[in-house]
Structure 1
Amino acid sequence: MLRVSQLIIYPIKSLGGIELTTAKVTDRGLEHDRRWMLIDDDNRFLSQREYAQLALCKVSVEDDGLSVTYTPDGSSIKIPFEPIKQDALEVTIWDDTCSGQLVSDEVDAWFTEKLGKSSRLVYMPDETHRQTDLRYTSEGMVTSFSDAYPLLIIGQAALDDLNSRLDEALPMNRFRPNVVFTGGAPYSEDLMNHIQINGLDFYGVKLCARCIMTTINQETIAKGKEPLKTLAKYRRKGNKILFGQNLALIGTGNINVGDELTVLSTHTEERFIVGSDAPTSAA
């Protein structure tokens, strides 16, 4: 039996994650997940890929907004759920452009000081609908300020298998999933097409290509060669290293740690088959 073992949100793109026991599923992913994003002077998103110190900004959700703490000096800033400013602007995430709302000058100044980089925080209002890639998803499926899709799922068995090949085990936070599950064979998430959790429908749409963010220690921002060096030996397809699957969704409601994950159909397309260790079943 497959069961949800972790639920994680990342309210501000590329900053620290928050583990939950219950998560509200919205039209664009888990509630609060990547609804905020830091941008530069060109309105382009900031990422740990270029600014590893973003990992040192730890986020918590409180009754009236977010709290962000910069761990090197322990200083914090409060971010209201409703932006103070009304200014909207077009922001860029990879090849996508969508509308974001500036939050406050005070918040911008705080992040600029901590990061040593001119930074502004934007919020995605409910009125912004960022369409997911129509090559892999249906019209009307949307996402927040995530890289491309509303959710990322990884099986604990996949991480356990990877760690069995490494000299030093790595935590799941290197891969920034939203949903982690136990049970099943390593990498069984690759083949998941239509799944249900607590009566809600999710659809596997694209295996997740991994980048140098996985090589950054989320507590110290030290960088290494793993896990990409090892994953490249058995999880490479073309010029991409794949680990986890991106999900789209239909419907809203709640999902919980401990919920059963039911696989209703599996992929048969070649693009979901990776290496000699590919699973033969998603169950």
Structure 2
Amino acid sequence: MNLSGLYLYPIKSTAALAVREAAVEAQGLANDRRWMVVNPAGRFVTGRELARLTLVRARPVAEGLVLEAPGMPSLAVATPDNGRPVDATVWDSTVAARGADPAADAWLSDFLLQPVRLVHMGPDSHRTIDEPQARADDTVSFADGYPLLLISQASLDGLNARLPQPVPMLRFRPNLVVGGADAPHAEDHWRRVRVGEVEFDVVKTCTRCVFTTVDPQRGERDPGGEPLRTLASYRRSDKGITFGQNLIPRSAGTVRAGDPVEVLARA
């Protein structure tokens, strides 16, 4: 097996950025979900509520980010090392973050058609993983719950064989895509993997929500509720509708597209 796809989401819920390599940090891949859009109260805003957010493209640069979106001028946003302190809430956790330049807030508010702010998770931010599968010192970015998400290409192929119209992998917003698995959902039975030089614990199956119905090319939901409707017909469990596996890094290093993927432990 090999790493056939590698993706970052520099701002939570915005467009995927395909990369050839990425450094692995405790919170996840470097530059992955270190920024987030919040409402005026500081609560996270995602593509679940605002499908249009998936049309925003954020490109990391040395000074911060460059933002692009249809019909909008590009905007350079500096990393707010000494920005406005902001309490940013993701689900039930509140993180000490920094507010970006007001120009970024105005740009995003204009595109999303409602008032929002952009915040950054810097080195002084700390968000622990409040889940029984995690260790006490495990941390995470602004991702929903865990540092990384892995999906095998075989799992998507198995789903697409059931759908009237196939969907791309990016409907599921993985970080790591594994090619060459011997069967759909083989990753359900993995407990520890090595990707190139980095080891990960496979800690929890990923439960899926309405976000999977958002077409990231159009920034709109699928009117038929796909692929979630089809997934519900064969991937429903007592945990919900599942697709893919959440990972926690257990070593540092760099992962690269094409790296070998080895299963070190199975269920």
Asked if these proteins are the same fold (TM beyond 0.5), I'd say yes
**Matched-pair contact (CA < 8 Å) for 1:85–1:104:** no
TM-score by length of 2: 0.95
**Matched-pair contact (CA < 8 Å) for 1:154–1:244:** yes
**Matched-pair contact (CA < 8 Å) for 1:59–1:69:** yes
- Are 1:122 and 2:119 counterparts? yes
Q: Percent identity?
A: 38
Q: CA RMSD in A?
A: 1.2
2:141 aligned partner: 144
**Matched-pair contact (CA < 8 Å) for 2:36–2:118:** yes
1:281 aligned partner: none
Q: Which ranges of structure 1 fall in alignment gaps of 5 or more residues? A: 268-283
Classify the secondary structure of the residue corresponding to 1:46: coil
1:217 aligned partner: 215
The amino acid across from 2:200 in the alignment is F
How far is the alpha carbon of 1:64 from its aligned partner? Answer: 3.0
2:32 aligned partner: 33
How far is the alpha carbon of 1:199 from its aligned partner? Answer: 2.4
Paired residue for 2:197, among 193, 196, 199?
199
Cα 1:79/1:194, change in 2 over 3 Å: same
How far is the alpha carbon of 1:63 from its aligned partner? Answer: 3.8
- Are 1:108 and 2:82 counterparts? no
Distance 2:245 2:91 in 1: 19
Cα 1:116/1:259, change in 2 over 3 Å: same
**Matched-pair contact (CA < 8 Å) for 1:39–1:122:** yes
Paired residue for 2:74, among 73, 76, 88?
76
The amino acid across from 1:192 in the alignment is W
How far is the alpha carbon of 1:85 from its aligned partner? Answer: 4.9
1:208 aligned partner: 206
**Matched-pair contact (CA < 8 Å) for 1:194–1:265:** yes
Classify the secondary structure of the residue corresponding to 2:149: strand
Q: Which ranges of structure 2 fall in alignment gaps of 5 or more residues? A: none
**Matched-pair contact (CA < 8 Å) for 1:144–1:150:** yes
Distance 1:149 1:39 in 2: 19
- Are 1:49 and 2:27 counterparts? no
Classify the secondary structure of the residue corresponding to 2:58: strand
The CA deviation string for residues 147-183 of structure 1, in whole angstroms up to 9 with x for no partner, is: 0100000000000110011111100110000000101
**Matched-pair contact (CA < 8 Å) for 1:93–1:145:** yes
1:65 aligned partner: 64
The amino acid across from 2:109 in the alignment is T
Cα 1:66/1:238, change in 2 over 3 Å: same
Distance 1:61 1:41 in 2: 25
How far is the alpha carbon of 1:65 from its aligned partner? Answer: 2.5
TM-score by length of 1: 0.90
How far is the alpha carbon of 1:86 from its aligned partner? Answer: 2.5
The amino acid across from 1:229 in the alignment is R
Distance 1:84 1:186 in 2: 44
Aligned pairs (5 A) from 1:155-194: 155-184=152-181, 185-194=183-192
1:278 aligned partner: none
2:22 aligned partner: 23
- Are 1:251 and 2:220 counterparts? no
Cα 1:25/1:209, change in 2 over 3 Å: same
Distance 2:5 2:172 in 1: 13
The amino acid across from 1:165 in the alignment is R
| Number of residue pairs the alignment of both structures matches | 264
How far is the alpha carbon of 1:117 from its aligned partner? Answer: 1.1
Cα 1:98/1:63, change in 2 over 3 Å: closer
